[in-house]
Each structure stands twice: as C-alpha cells, then as structure tokens.
Homo-oligomer: A and B are copies of this chain.
Amino acid sequence: MGGNDEMGNVEEESLPPPHLDLYEPLLEKEKVATAGNANGNVINGTHHTAMIGTRVAPIESLDYELVENELFRQDWRSRKKREILQYVAVKWTFVFLVGILTAIAALGINTAVENIAGVKFLLTVKFMESNRFVWAFLVYAGFNVMLVMSAALLCVYIGPSAAGSGIPEVKAYLNGVDTPNIFSIKTLVVKILGSIGSVAGGLIVGKEGPLVHVGSCIASLLGQGGSVKYGLTCKWLRYLKNDRDRRDLVTCGAAAGVAAAFRAPVGGVLFALEEVTSWWRGPLLWRAFFTTAVVAVVIRTGIAWCKQGHCGMAGEGGLIIFDVSGVQESYGLRELSSVAVSGVLGGVLGSLFNQINAKIIVWSGTWLKKKGKFAKIIQAILIALVTSICSFGLPFLAKCQPCPDHLTIPGEKACPTYGRAGNFKNFHCPDGSYNDLAGLFFNTNEDSVRNLFSKGTNGEFQFSSLFVYLTSAYSLALLTYGTAVPSGLFVPAILCGATYGRIVGMIMGSFYVNGHMDEGVYALLGAASFLGGSMRMTVSLCIILLELTNNLLLLPLIMLVLLISKTVGDAFNDGLYSLHVHIKGIPFLEAHPPQFMSHLTARDAITRPLIWFSKVERVGTIAEVLRSTNHHAFPVVDDDVECSGKPVFFGLVLRSHLLVLLKKKEFAKNRLSRSEVQSSRVTAAEFAKPGSGKGLTISDIELTVVEEEMFLDLTGIANTSPYTVVHTMSLAKAYTLFRQLGLRHLCVMPRASEGQPIIGLLTRHDFMSAYLLNLYPHLRQNNYTKIQAFTSKRDEQL
C-alpha cells in the first residue's frame, strides 16, 4: 500500500500535500492491482468496504443520473400538474418535519445531559462538602464510567455506525457513497442515547457532530418514502423514492443539526454548504434556510418552556450561546499582531491534532480489530476513568484564589456564580476563595467554554491552571475521538483553543499595561484558530462563532484568525474530516481531479473484464452473471448482426432493474419474440429505488431449469442514453464529468466503432488515486522523464 495521495487538496493546480503518505487507510484491502500491462485485465479489488462508525461495512455508490429508458420516459411524460404540486408539497412538508424533529432531538439530548450531569455534580459536591473525598471520587468516576460504558455498549452491540461524530459518514453519503446502516433507525436511537451518555459522562466530546448525524438520519428516514413493511406508506411519498431527493433532504438535515447544536441557523446552512455537501443547487439553499429557521423557532420555544422549570436542571445552559458582546470596539496593529499569533498557534496545534489523532485511530483501530468488541468497551471505560481522574484530581494541584473584590457580595461565603454553573467553583477551597482549575475541569464542557469566553474576567485564571488544562484537554480529546462512543469535535476544539487563547491574552496583557483586549475575546479568537487549524472551514465557522457570541464587530478579527490558521494548517496536512474520510477508506471524490490524472486516459483506468448482455438475453446467462459478479450495471449490446452489420452499443441496464424483471418472470420463449415488450406490464414505480434495507438480491429469486432457458428482452429497461466518453479522453476530464453529474457508471466508448461496441465502464473505484497510482507507480514519483516516456508510448498505441 502507500502512495495515498488521493486526499490531496485537489484543486486543478495544487501540489499533493507533503505528509499524506503517513496515513494509510485503516482497512487492508484484499488485493490491490499491481502495476504492469495497463490494458490487461487487472481486477480492482479495492474499496468495497469502509469503516462506518467503528465497524467495517459494505459500501455502495449512489446514482444521480437520469435513467432514460422507454419505461421511465413514459412515466415522465404522464406526470401532470397536480402531481408536480404534490411533489413540491411533500418536499416542503418533509424539510419542515426535519427541522422540528431535529430541534426536538437536540432539546432532548440537552435536557438529559444537563439533568444527569447536574445530579452527578450535586452528589459529588455533597460528599466533598463533608470532606469524604474518596467517596466523592467514587461517585463521580462511577457515574462517568457507567454512562460511558452504556454508550459504548449501545454503540458496539446495537448501532456500530453511530460511533464517532458521523460527519465523515454524512459527507461520504452526500458525495455518493451509501452504506446500509448509516441512516437506520437503530443508528438514530443509539446516536441520541450514546451522545447523552458520552457527554454527560464527562468525556471531552461535544454533541455537535452527533447532532449533524442525527439531523441527517431523521431526514433520510423521512425520505425513505414510508415503509411497506409497517404499512406506513402513501401515494404521495413515491416521489421521494430516488437518490436525488434523499440527498437534498439529508443536506437539509445536516444543516438542521448544526443549527440546533449551536443555535446558529445561518451557520448551519453554511456548514452544510461548505463542509458537508458535494453538490449544491440554488433551491436547496432556500430549503435548507427554511429548515434551520424552523429549528431556530422550535429551539427558542423549547428553551423558553424549559426556563419555566419544566426541564429539571436544564435551564439556559447546554445549547451554547456565549455573549461576549460589548467588549471590544476598536483594535489596532498591536491587537492584530496578537491575533496573528493565535492564528499561527491554531494552525500548528490544529494540524498536529489531526496528525496525532489520525495516527492513534489507525493504530488503535488495527489493534482493536484483533481484540474484538469487548476491547472497544474496555477502551471506552479506561478513557472515562482517566478523564475522571484528571478532572477530579488535577484541580487539587491548583492554588486557591481569593474571590475578586469587586465581585464579592457582602455576607456571601462563596464567590459569586452566574447561574448554577458560574465562573467560580469552590471545590475544596476555603470560603471566600475559588479553584480556577475546577472551574474548567469540574464542569460540563459547555460551562467550561462559557467560563473561558466570559468577559471582564481578566486574571481569573492562573497561567499554570490554563496550561495544565490545555495539555490534559488536548491529550484527552486526542484519545477520546475515535472511541466507540458518539463524539463530536467542536467542543473539544473550542475548549483547547479558548484555553491557549487566554494564555496568549495573558502574555500580551503582561506586555502592554493598558488597552489590550479582553481575555474573553482572546479566548474566542483562540477557539476560532483551533477550529480553523483543525477543521479548515472558514465562512461557516466564522458565522457559527458570530452567532454564538453575538458580536459582529469582532468579524474582521475572526476572519483574519481563521485565514491564518487555515493557511498554516493546510501547509501540514488535510482537514480533520477529510483525513477521517480517508482513514475510513471511503472512496470519496474530491471536487477536482488530482493532477496526475491528466497524464492518463479513460482507457488506462479500465481494468476489469467487461461483461455485456444482448438485447434479448437468455435468463440463465443473466442469473449466472448476477450471481457471480457484484457489478451494478451492464452494457447491453445490439448484436443482431443481420440487421446492423456488427454489434453496436445499445444501452446500460442496472442490476436492480434486472432483478425486478427476473422477479416478475416475464420471459419470452425464444430470442425472436421481441415484439411482445413485457415492460408494458411492469410500471415504473416498481423500479423505484428502495430505501434502506437490502432490496432485492439475486438469491431471493428462484428460477427453474425451464425458465433459465427462456429469454428476457432488455430493450425496455436499458438506459439508451447514458453519458459516454471516448476512451482517449484524459482521465481528469472524465473525472470532471463523473463528479459534476454525480454518476455511478460512465461508459467508455471506442473511437471509431470498430471491434468492440464498448470498451468498458468506469466507476467511482476506478477514479481512486491509490488504485491508479499502484497501477502506474511512475506517476507517483512525479518523475517527468518517466511520465513522458509512458505517455508517448501509450499515445503511439492509440
């Protein structure tokens, strides 16, 4: 293996990023074609599975091409005005539902986390107040371990696809890679319960990533077009039975997830646009915007309801809004330079985070695969234990600080808190003083963030406390992400970033006596820089942070810090989600082909032997081919030589359509009875793509010996106008077509139609860099002379 340049930041012009060879995908592919005779029939044995969550799962491509066969043409033509209106109505109703349900899920997770964590902290504090520290620790650690263990059990045994943040998987789905379980009901339930467990269990994880997955899950489940099994079906829903509409719904779901997580409706739309989707259409912006607006209204209403005391201990907190408004109105060159420092730090620490995290995941993944499911649970428990020890033990190292004078309320013993989970934690300190490290560690993550972002608190934290917190939060976040529990990365990134932001602020403050910015602003900029350095988003992060902090005057500073940290980070490696997509072995198609593809032609990528059918094919042959291969499309060739002189390409037939026809058993007695087009007895709706679940497989179909000798006419169901390219087209150009139109199969045709009617089919896997670079290793070395020799030799052959 090796040579995994495929994750390159593949603009047309870009160089392959230098360090990617470090990361090898987690899965060992069975057999990768070795170099050699490019036109020989080498099998592309790679990429039919990928890591989804923590489990190796089979993957399939989605197909957004319009199938144009006789049957479907008839269907389109008969579509009436009323039906189009129904379709539009269904679409809008569904995004409305996605918004409402995602918001409710977010509120539910939030309420549960706040209540469970609240009980945990109350009990622990009770024991501490009576100086029973061992008991306190046991209660605290016990709670954490139990919660995390339940999450891990759910993830490992019930919904393995629910582990991790889910954003790489959603990204892969929207790029056209489908896995059966990624959006199932099981996954949804496990994701919701699991994130409650892992967040309430005190791990350094967030619930933002998981909420994106939850939103997409809800959207995808709605988009299944009902369930025949449970009788949940309706004539109107049939319009949604195709991959395009599901893709749109899932995009809206992802936007809703971010919108619900951060209460940032515009940020949600932009996140979906910038990070998650691969295809974007104008009307989708508008629909996604509507979804997030619904989310915003529902969340707002829900929080207002909770404030009236209906939600137990869940009040304002949890759905993070930090208000640092009214802090910084002007800034000069001095502030800009310290912003630049934060940006560079963020770029370095963020890309280092990606690098180490990827290493850990690959390493632990290989190890855990050997040890089995039980080891995954042990791993989660150990991490919960270590986190508990850190968050309970380390605050004892911090020196107690006297409460700041101007904030002390006369007659009160403890330092003031804003709300229940305020800035100052007493912990083990005497009255009138506080433990600043406990304010960070001994809190829910979101309250820690709020403490770090709080304004007017210069000097509240000691340098040493921040440093201890930074190193342990950074290390714990590295260890935790990749465990078999639902875990988001936004909150850990914000925690680390805000901490070193405050450190930068304190250092700057010691240089300039007056007029430097509030440390809360530095914390915000630090968070921005870490997010930018690790996730490499720009516009959406900017908006999310703005919506979180409600201070537009900071916009130029946030923009600057994001620009710097992204640039610095890009110099080292790829964004976190892209790295994870790569590590998981997902065949992801970037927006632009890597440069080496311009040296190859479409023919060079075709390696597998082509199997084609005649227009009227023997049933036994079809069944045999379907049994022995797992290809999803087959060319149909008109080999009626009497009529056309020599075999010509007729169209492309999909495996799923063949299966429907075989199931129907509308066979003809002999090859010539093609006039009785059996498709007239089959309706287009029967060919609609099924939702989740396996759909029809060849093993479901029983054929008698007599039937096997009969014939099937493929004229009606063959897509007679698939997209084609000539075999001399450069692979880069073919890639553009494939990627832009969201194809699953691309027919490669011969130049002058001599000999073969069709040369081959290109699929997603044939465009994977790892595969191609293995086939043509000289392209990897970027060796100009060798490339030259290869291309001129190839050109001569053509």
Contact = CB atoms under 8 A, between A and B. Distances in A.
A644 interface: yes
Interface in A747-768: 751-754
Contacts of A11: 283
A741 interface: yes
A556 B281 contact: no
A142 B681 CA distance: 80
A566 interface: yes
A297 B737 contact: no
Interface string A136-160: 0000000000000000000000000
B732 A556 contact: no
Most chain B CB neighbours (cut-off 10 Å) among A77, A325, A552, A559: A552
Interface stretch (A437-445, A454-462, A541-549): A541-549
A76 interface: yes
A595 B66 CA distance: 14
A266 B787 contact: no
Interface stretch (A81-89, A192-200, A210-218, A379-387): A81-89
A196 to B, nearest CB: 27
A720 interface: yes
Given A283-B11, A556-B296, A720 B730 contact: no
Overall SS of chain A's interface: helix
A732 B725 CA distance: 19
Nearest to A753: B753
B723 A728 contact: no
Interface stretch (A173-181, A285-293, A513-521): A285-293
Contacts of A335: none
A115 interface: no
A300 interface: yes
B296 A285 contact: no
Contact of A15 (B66, B85, B283): B85
B591 A14 contact: no
A791 interface: yes
Interface string A720-753: 1101111011101100110011000000000111
Contacts of A559: 265, 289, 293, 296
Interface centre among A13, A325, A732, A791 (most CB of B within 10 A): A13
A300 B556 contact: yes
Contacts of A296: 555-556, 559
Nearest to A599: B77
Nearest to A330: B304
Given A77-B791, A286-B538, A552-B550, A721 B732 contact: no
B15 A81 contact: yes
Contacts of A754: 644
Nearest to A550: B552
A274 interface: yes
23 contacts: A13-B84, A68-B730, A76-B598, A77-B598, A77-B788, A78-B784, A266-B542, A266-B543, A281-B592, A285-B538, A289-B538, A290-B563, A296-B556, A325-B325, A543-B543, A547-B555, A552-B552, A721-B725, A721-B729, A724-B726, A736-B741, A737-B741, A740-B741
Given A66-B736, A265-B559, 18 more contacts: A13-B91, A15-B81, A15-B85, A66-B730, A266-B539, A266-B542, A273-B285, A274-B282, A289-B538, A289-B563, A293-B559, A296-B556, A547-B552, A547-B555, A721-B730, A741-B741, A752-B753, A753-B753
